[in-house]
């Protein structure tokens, strides 16, 4: 049957490009960090057939065509199912280089299986499978799922550094864990990008330093990067980043001194954003200090008073929250600020 399918596809390929009569082509991709996984495959249908142990035999099987080697299942139909990684990756805990691979599976009667990545991804199906071309072979545990008529490949359980590739067909799921060293990849990529036009802007160095700061990695390099940003643009954002880096590396006094210098040149919007960032980090008291400073510097800004009201509301200080929201409304705020202040006042029963 597989050989008949191959012949039909070859005849189909000799003419003009038209839709495939069966097992339509599909592609799916997922980005983890800045790394991309792409899978090109075909989607056969169950069509009432017995799939496992029949259409797809259990274990390893000779194809009766091609190399004649025992081979796994081609994870779909027609050409090889091809998976491509943009960066080095771990698949089921094993290192795999960036590049394209033929994706194969083995299913056993006890719901165990194997995932195989072959360096030979250009051959048709499993007919010319050669174990010597294996880049990876790993054990997996299949899952039982609700019936899925058309074979599908999707990504799930997505986290910062990893995800699962899941092939679903009939009532079986083949899960494969894929993991990238995201921070290492981002830092290596930043080093290369800063050699290009990105390195001629302060924003390039500042964004690299901020990523390192937020993820607590490569801090000495981050200090070098932020110094280059400051050399091009000495401002609240760049000085604040350096202040935070100094404190994170144990130089608290130096960091606090630099933060004061940064605060002196901050705009209303920058202080406002900083206050909300502190609230997001759970440091409500410091957020109140920053937002109160904003109202002192910009006493006619309805938004500054509204933001301070939110900080007090977050702290649970109802009295001061009401006071600041009412102050905001007294300054004839724009519609969005007015709506926010009124919303909180209604919640507090003060309007």
DSSP state, 59? S
Cα(59)–Cα(106) distance, rounded to whole angstroms?
6
Residue 5 has pLDDT above 90, yes or no: no
Least confident of 21-25, 147-151, 248-252, 268-272: 21-25
Please give the pLDDT value at position 8.
52
Q: What pLDDT sits at residue 18?
A: 79
Judge whether 109 and 84 are in contact, CB under 8 Å. no
Strand order in the sheet with 25-32: 25-32, 35-42, 82-85, 99-107, 112-118, 134-141
Residue 267 dihedral angles phi and psi, to the nearest 5°: -85, 170
Q: Which CATH architecture has domain 183-347?
A: Alpha Horseshoe (1.25)
Across residues 268-290, what is the average pLDDT?
96
pLDDT in tens, 67-111: 678 899 999 998 899 999 999 999 999 999 999 999 999 999 999
Q: Parse the chain into domains and list their residue ranges.
A: 22-180, 183-347
- Reply yes or no on whether the pLDDT at 13 is more than 60: no
Average pLDDT, integer, range 273-278: 96
Question: 137 burial class (0-12, 13-18, 19+ CB within 10 angstroms)?
Answer: middle
Cα 309 to Cα 315: distance, rounded to the nearest angstrom: 10
Judged against a pLDDT cut of 90, whether residue 183 lies above it is answered with yes
Q: Half-sphere exposure of residue 213, counting CA atoms within 13 Å on the CB side?
A: 21
The pLDDT assigned to 15 comes to 75
pLDDT value at 235 more than 80: yes
Query: Other C-beta atoms within 10 Å of 68: how many?
Result: 11
d(CA 292, CA 279): 13
């Amino acid at each position: 049957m597989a050989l008949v399918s191959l012949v039909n596809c070859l005849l189909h390929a000799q003419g003009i490009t038209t839709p495939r009569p069966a097992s339509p082509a599909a592609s799916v991709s997922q980005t983890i960090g800045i790394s991309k996984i792409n899978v090109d495959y075909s989607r056969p249908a169950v069509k009432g057939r017995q799939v496992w142990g029949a259409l797809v035999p259990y274990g390893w099987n000779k194809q009766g065509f091609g190399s004649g080697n025992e081979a796994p299942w081609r994870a779909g139909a027609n050409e090889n199912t091809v998976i491509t990684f943009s960066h080095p990756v771990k698949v089921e805990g094993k290192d795999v280089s960036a590049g394209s691979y033929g994706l194969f599976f083995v299913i056993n009667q006890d719901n165990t299986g194997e995932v195989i990545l072959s360096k030979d991804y250009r051959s048709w199906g499993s007919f010319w499978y050669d174990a010597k071309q294996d880049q990876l072979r790993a054990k997996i545990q299949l899952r039982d799922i609700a019936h899925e008529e058309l074979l599908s490949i999707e990504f799930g359980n997505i986290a910062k550094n990893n995800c699962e590739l899941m092939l679903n067909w009939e009532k079986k799921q083949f899960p494969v864990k894929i993991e990238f060293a995201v921070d290492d990849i981002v830092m290596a990529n930043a080093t290369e990008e800063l050699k290009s036009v990105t390195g001629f802007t302060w924003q390039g160095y500042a964004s690299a330093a901020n990523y390192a700061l937020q993820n607590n990695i490569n801090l000495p390099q981050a200090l070098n990067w932020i110094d280059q940003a400051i050399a091009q643009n000495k401002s609240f954002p760049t000085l604040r980043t350096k202040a935070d880096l100094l404190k994170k590396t144990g130089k608290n006094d130096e960091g606090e001194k630099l933060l004061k210098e940064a605060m002196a040149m901050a705009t209303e919007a920058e202080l406002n954003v900083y206050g909300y960032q502190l609230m997001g980090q759970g440091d409500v008291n410091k957020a109140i200090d920053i937002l109160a400073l904003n109202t002192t510097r910009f006493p006619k800004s309805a938004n500054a008073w509204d933001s301070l009201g939110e900080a007090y509301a977050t702290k649970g200080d109802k009295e001061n929250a009401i006071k600041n929201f009412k102050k905001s409304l007294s300054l004839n705020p724009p519609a969005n600020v007015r709506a926010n202040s009124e919303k909180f006042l209604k919640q507090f029963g003060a309007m």
